[in-house]
Amino acid sequence: MRAVLQRVSQARVDIAGETVGQCGPGLMILICAMQGDTEKTAGKLAAKVSKIRIFKDDQGKMNRSISDIGGSALVVSQFTLSADTSRGNRPGFSGAAAPEDGDRLYRHFAACLRDLGIPVETGEFGADMQVSLTNDGPVTIWLDQDNG
């Protein structure tokens, strides 16, 4: 699975002008299930996300996790993270998991974060979404969790 984490002061996802998910201070997480990914992959990535220390401590150093700060997360599926740009100028997305697997693993990832005590809201898999956020820092981290 692939994820882009953005440390945010706020984030929101809208569909057809209606807000379907939002978070306050915490993480905006764009997530893509890749071919061969499993529930185990999603669980490992959720555990990593819950522990990654990208929030400031009292000395201003990135030394705290989303769990440490009591933050929340907005998780949005984004199959374009699977983009292969190695041939020509039009990205290919064949590395992404099939839609039914992608949806299942996206939901499982969000559930794993919830099970770790992180408040989570989500977008809608496969929908045309508008995402807005205020990146805090800015801090943006890319994670790639191996299959299985």
The residues that are catalytic are 78-80
Residue 18 CA neighbour count, 13 Å, CB half: 4
Closest CA to 126 of 43, 36, 32: 32
Residue 56's alpha-carbon distances to 26, 68, 105, 115, in angstroms, are: 12, 10, 30, 24
Written as six digits, the tokens of 31 are: 């997530």
Written as six digits, the tokens of 80 are: 């374009």
User: Taking the C-alpha atoms of 108, 111, 116 and 119 in order, what is their torsion angle to the nearest 10 degrees?
Assistant: 140
Written as six digits, the tokens of 57 are: 């401590």
